[in-house]
């Protein structure tokens, strides 16, 4: 059985460094890049949906926008929503909107996946 496309929601993760206001050294920068989704962008083969917060101090929104634009430039399927919220995106209005938009995203992505799988089946 072949590999089937799956929907993916990317979550940025911490590199484990303390943010003490001192600029990272080259080794730390290399580790941060290696751990970043942007370094694996060519390997992304599934639809991606990003939820970005304008007030996020942990992962600046510019990083999410860079990922979005890079995926688009490579012809990858990507959508994004931007919220006036911080990293957890926990405001009730944000949370409700994320649930709705995530359900819509997965509904489309999974429906497309089923159609592609069916078209690859031989009778």
Domain count, the chain: 1
Domain membership flag for residue 67: yes
Q: What is the pLDDT of residues 43-66, one digit of tens each?
A: 999 999 999 999 998 888 999 999
Domain membership flag for residue 12: no
Domain membership flag for residue 103: yes
Domain membership flag for residue 102: yes
CA 76 – CA 118 distance, rounded (Å): 22
**What DSSP assignment string belongs to the chain?**
-PPPP--B-------S----SSPPPHHHHHHHHHHSGGGGGGG--S-EEEEEETT-SSS-HHHHHHHHHHHHHTT--EEEEEESS-TT--SHHHHHHHHHHHHHHHHHHHHHHHHHHHHT---
What's the token pair of residue 5? 């496309």
Indicate whether 82 pLDDT > 50.
yes
Domain membership flag for residue 2: no
Q: Give residue 67's domain range.
A: 26-119
Q: What is the pLDDT of residues 92-101, one digit of tens each?
A: 999 999 999 9
């Amino acid at each position: 059985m072949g590999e089937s496309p799956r929907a993916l929601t990317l979550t940025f993760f911490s590199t484990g460094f303390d943010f003490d206001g001192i600029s990272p050294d080259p080794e730390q920068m290399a580790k941060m890049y290696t751990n970043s989704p942007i370094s694996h962008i060519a390997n992304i083969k599934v639809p991606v949906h990003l939820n970005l917060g304008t007030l996020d101090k942990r992962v600046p929104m510019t990083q999410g926008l860079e990922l979005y634009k890079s995926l688009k430039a490579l012809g990858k399927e990507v959508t994004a929503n931007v919220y006036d919220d911080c990293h957890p995106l926990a405001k009730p209005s944000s949370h409700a909107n994320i649930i709705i938009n995530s359900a819509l995203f997965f509904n489309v992505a999974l429906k497309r996946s089923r159609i592609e799988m069916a078209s690859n089946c031989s009778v």
